[in-house]
Amino acid sequence: MRITLLIYLFTIQTSLLVLGNGNETEYTRKDYIDLWKVTALKNMFEHNIPASITLAQGILESGNGNSTLTRKANNHFGIKCHGWDGPGYYMDDDKKDECFRSYKRAEDSFEDHSQFLLKPRYANLFSLKLTDYKGWAKGLKKAGYATNPEYASRLIKIIEENKLYEFDKYSYEDYLSLKGKSKYNDDSNPTIIASTPTKKKSKNSSKEPKELEITIGRKQYVHENKINYIIAKEGDDYNSIASDMNLGKWQILKYNELDKNDQIHAGDVVFIQPKHNKSKKKSCIAANGDSWRSISQHYGIKMSKLLKMNDASQDQAIKAGQKILLR
């Protein structure tokens, strides 16, 4: 009888441990890295954010994937509901009963994290090398991602202790190879399907989240000059693009050095970050029909810098075969 009772109590205790968190596994840091390294690499190649930074932030913010917020709402990065039309998960943080974004899939949390870092306040980070994890960590803190004064040093410590910087050196072929070998992929990840009812719902929770619409409808690319851009679709205008990318129209016009009366056409490259002062390439040979603006857009260089390098004015014609300096 005593043995039977002990077995029964053990079974109940085990069930509570399994069901209490909504997930039967207590993840170690190694588990977390193994589970999400492919997703971090995917975001690195799509959005130009170091995989080491994504993993370190996920580890720190989610407690290796074991936090209540991560288990209940698939939120790996502690992103709150500001500017969010999707469902929320409410818990005490800096203030009582704060709203955090809730995701159906954990992968959506990683994508939303990338979209969050593509906002203008973090634009300076994208001028850093992918391998400069220390610069990224310090830049995140400086831009106000976290209030903890030790945030940057904690990220750096996680990266160095776990050698996460090695992922930042991966080529796209390395990523594809790792993805092929992984037992987890985009279609089969250890994802919690969030079904836990929240204490409240945001006002427009029936609408699809804007950030999710961006993920689905706006594939982003990384220019060879390390600037994020999209390709304009049929029917696009600067207002629709600005709305989809959570930017102001003025930012789209400024980043692409356009006037508000300029037209946009399907297939146009539209930068969603500022262009740089120079290109990796030293020079190019102009083709028939090239203009200073077309070269500026093609190589991702600010028009003013391009003109200054070539001692030219914007209304000065370019001849086919002319050598154009790019740095």
Query: Per the domain annotation, does 277 fall within a domain?
Result: no
The per-residue pLDDT for 7 is 39
Q: Structure tokens of 245?
A: 């990318």
- Regarding whether 225 and 181 lie in a shared domain, the answer is no
Contact 125, 60 (CB under 8 A): no
- The token pair that represents 299 in the structure block: 């190589």
Tell me how many domains the chain contains. 3
Single residue among 200, 215, 230 that ends a domain in this structure: 215
**Is 41 part of any domain?**
yes
Determine, yes or no, domain membership for 276.
no
Instruction: For residue 176, give the CATH number of its domain.
Output: 1.10.530.10
Same domain, 262 and 311: no
pLDDT at 19: 36
Q: Domain residues for 309?
A: 283-325
List per-block mean pLDDT (blocks of 10 residues) for the chain, which spans 327 residues: 41 38 71 94 91 96 91 91 87 83 92 89 88 94 87 95 95 87 50 38 37 46 85 84 84 88 84 90 86 90 93 88 91
Amino acid identity of residue 37, one-letter, is K
The pLDDT, as a whole number, for residue 203 is: 40
12 within a domain of the structure (yes/no): yes
Torsion of CA 184, 190, 195, 200, to 10 degrees: -100
Task: Give pLDDT, residue 233.
Answer: 83
Q: How many CB atoms lie within 10 A of CB 183?
A: 9
On whether both 197 and 291 belong to a single domain, the answer is no
| 270 touches 223 (CB < 8 A) | no
State whether 250 and 315 are in the same domain.
Answer: no
Asked if 242 and 139 sit in the same domain, the reply is no
255 and 316 assigned to the same domain: no
Q: Are residues 25 and 167 in the same domain?
A: yes
Q: What pLDDT score does 314 carry?
A: 85
Looking at the domain assignment, is residue 278 inside a domain?
A: no
Question: What is the domain-level CATH number for residue 308?
Answer: 3.10.350.10
Q: 200 and 62: one domain?
A: yes
Q: What pLDDT is stored for residue 215 in this prediction?
A: 34
Residue pointed to by tokens 């600067």? 238
pLDDT of residue 258: 87
Whole-model pTM: value is 0.54
Q: Are residues 120 and 239 in the same domain?
A: no
pLDDT of res. 290: 84
In this predicted structure, what is the pLDDT of residue 182? Answer: 67
Same domain membership, residue 158 and residue 31: yes
- Shared domain for 106 and 174, answered yes or no, is yes
Instruction: Report yes or no on 201 lying in a domain.
Output: yes
Residues 323, 326, 327, CA angle at the centre, nearest 5°?
A: 130
Q: What is the pLDDT of residue 11?
A: 39
Residues 181 and 72 in one domain: yes
